[in-house]
């Protein structure tokens, strides 16, 4: 019988030695990493706060946010609690959410997302009170440029920054307005709530039309506003020679309108909503 090769097992002792040395190398590397992490952490503990950076503000005053953060200027940066600071900043009426990062450069970065206003609330004398967002939270007039949103009149009670309006009807209207695209919401100049609790809106003068009073009613605002947008594109923009004097959205699947040249009412059945 042929002899087996005597060279097959000559490399086994070398492999075994390499395998034994591998855990030692990993242990040494692990210890070095731990030492470096410890040194880095000791260094970070000594980093002093140098500046507070506010990111994402448009209407809120950055200096007011710094005051709300309530951070001492001579404190160690990594001794600060990001969650606690974010909670303080979120008490500002314009701040919807806030997040805090501690950077090794000594910067405390506070990133905020502001609330998005849907309407500008007016008082009984026609003076602006403040903004309302889609959830019914109130924001004061900001430090930035004025925001182009519809005016809302006839709604009583001040808007609170920490809790939404209790009026469910108004909140439903705000949610419906927020669901519109900005270009669609731009069709609406003003919304008025009558003493009887019914809402009327007035369109922005455009496409050869004056401001048109629109009877919105008391419910189903989302569907009715979509009907208004569809009617505007299907009937108003395509017929610049016609001037409408009123629009009634209270009926299902149709819109009742009056033209200035034809006082009698007309009903439009929309192709889609």
User: What digits encode the pLDDT tens for the residues 113-155?
Assistant: 999 999 999 998 999 989 999 999 999 988 778 899 999 999 9
Of 63, 81, 114, the last residue of a domain is 114
Residue 32 lies in a domain: no
Answer whether residue 79 is part of any domain: yes
C-alpha to C-alpha distance for 113 and 95, rounded to whole angstroms: 6
Same domain, 184 and 265: yes
Q: Which residue has the tokens 């605002």?
A: 221
Cα distance between residue 19 and residue 270, in whole Å: 79
Q: What percent of the chain shows pLDDT beyond 90? A: 52
> 160: domain CATH number?
3.40.50.10960
* pLDDT tens-digit readout, 78-121: 889 999 999 999 999 999 999 999 998 889 999 999 999 999 99
Report the first-to-last Cα separation within the chain, whole angstroms. Answer: 92
Residue 67 belongs to what domain range?
51-114
Tell me, yes or no, whether 33 lies in a domain: no
At 77, is the pLDDT very low, low, confident or very high (cuts 50, 70, 90)?
confident
pLDDT level of residue 34 (50, 70, 90 thresholds): low
The answer on 170 and 57 residing in a single domain is no
Q: Which tokens belong to 216?
A: 């919105």
pTM: 0.77
Residues 109 and 145 in one domain: no
**CATH code for position 58:** 3.10.20.310
- Same domain, yes or no, for 67 and 128? no
Whether residues 124 and 110 fall in one domain: no
Beta bridge partners of 130: 121
How many domains is the chain built from?
2
Q: Are residues 94 and 73 in the same domain?
A: yes
Cα 3 off chain centre by: 81
Check whether residue 82 and residue 203 sit in a common domain.
no
Same domain, 81 and 149: no
Q: Are residues 130 and 180 in the same domain?
A: yes
Helix (H, G, I), strand (E, B) or coil at 58: coil
Q: Are residues 132 and 164 in the same domain?
A: yes
């Amino acid at each position: 019988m042929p002899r087996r090769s005597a060279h097959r097992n000559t490399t086994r002792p070398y492999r075994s030695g390499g395998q034994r040395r591998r855990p030692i190398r990993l242990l040494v590397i692990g210890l070095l990493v731990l030492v470096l992490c410890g040194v880095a952490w000791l260094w970070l503990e000594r980093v002093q706060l140098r500046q507070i950076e506010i990111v994402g503000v448009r209407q809120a005053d950055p200096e007011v946010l710094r005051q709300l953060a309530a951070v001492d200027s001579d404190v160690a940066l990594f001794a600060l609690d990001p969650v606690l600071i974010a909670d303080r900043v979120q008490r500002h009426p314009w701040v919807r959410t806030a997040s805090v990062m501690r950077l090794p450069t000594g910067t405390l970065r506070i990133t905020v997302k502001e609330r998005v206003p849907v309407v500008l609330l007016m008082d009984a004398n026609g003076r602006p009170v403040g903004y309302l967002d889609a959830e019914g939270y109130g924001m004061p007039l900001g430090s930035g440029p004025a925001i182009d949103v519809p005016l809302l009149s006839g709604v009583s009670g001040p808007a609170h920054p920490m809790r939404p309006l209790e009026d469910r009807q108004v909140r439903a209207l705000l949610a419906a307005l927020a669901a519109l695209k900005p270009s669609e919401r731009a069709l609406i100049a003003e919304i008025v709530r009558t003493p009887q609790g019914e809402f009327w809106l007035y369109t922005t003068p455009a496409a050869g039309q004056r401001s048109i009073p629109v009877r919105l009613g008391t419910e189903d605002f989302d569907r009715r506003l979509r009907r208004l947008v569809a009617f505007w594109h299907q009937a108003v923009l395509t017929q610049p020679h016609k001037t409408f004097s009123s629009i009634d959205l209270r009926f299902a699947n149709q819109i009742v309108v009056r033209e200035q040249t034809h006082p009698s009412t007309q009903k439009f059945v929309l192709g889609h909503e």
